[in-house]
Structure 1
């Protein structure tokens, strides 16, 4: 038996990046900043989210940088050959199956104050 389930709660590190395909499919990519309880430094862990279909459209319309999200999905590893060096590159990606908006309006307003820089991950 194998299990590949990832549950995360964090804040959107940027506005969603959305792509529409001729086939009618839609994908949304989004960085998610997740604080660690046990770590003393203030830098969050960063996760790359990949969201497809109707959930991607909802994310595109309602998620903004700083929005508190709860997600459930699975871990996958994207691999490719670097065009410049020819070397094999890879990165972990969370393929989102479920997404929930968390927090209140007051939380959203407060979330705009701390700035998570998506380029740090």
Structure 2
């Protein structure tokens, strides 16, 4: 049995970048900062994740998610691979392919314009 499932809750690190393709497909890219539980006295640095969202969910993210919005996502871990044009070196970076997006912020905290559990995509 194999399982590749990721669930994260954090704040958007920047406004989403939306791309529309000639085929009609929509892609949304953004970063997510997730705080990790730290021991007393340790510096509180977030872990950063690159998110990739497609289709209707990407359109919703583009409309409602802003930098600092509290969101929850679930999906799978994948790796984006490419060859550096200058050094010809093979490169890769982890990416979370989002299947589900939850807008967790409220109007009060400047996040998405919905109350918790009101929006679930």
TM-score, normalised by the number of residues in structure 1:
0.86
Give the secondary structure class of the aligned counterpart of 2:22. coil
1:69-104: CA deviation from partner (whole Å, max 9, x where unpaired): 000000001110000100000000000000001132
Q: CA deviation at 1:10?
A: 0.2
Aligned partners of 1:31 and 1:48 also within 8 Å: yes
Q: What pairs up with 1:28-47 in 2 under 5 angstroms?
A: 28-38=28-38, 40-47=42-49
Q: Which has the higher contact order (CA 8 A, sep 6+)?
A: 1
Structure 1 alignment gaps of length 5 or more: 110-121
Deviation of the 1:38 alpha carbon: 2.2
SS at match of 1:106: coil
Counterpart-to-counterpart distance in 1, 2:60 and 2:86:
36
Q: Unaligned 5+ residue runs, structure 2? A: 112-121
The 2-side partners of 1:108 and 1:2 are apart by 39
| Aligned residue number for residue 57 of structure 1 | 59
Alignment: residue pair count: 109
What value does the CA root-mean-square deviation take over the aligned residues?
A: 1.1
For residues 37 and 104 of structure 1, what CA distance do their matches in structure 2 show?
A: 23
Q: Runs ≥4 in structure 1, deviation > 3 angstroms?
A: none
TM score, norm. by length of structure 2: 0.86
Provide the rounded CA distance (Å) in 2 between the counterparts of 1:101 and 1:42. Answer: 24
CA contact (8 A) 1:68 1:108 kept: no
SS in 2 for 1:105: coil
For 2:85 and 2:15, the matched residues in 1 are separated by 27
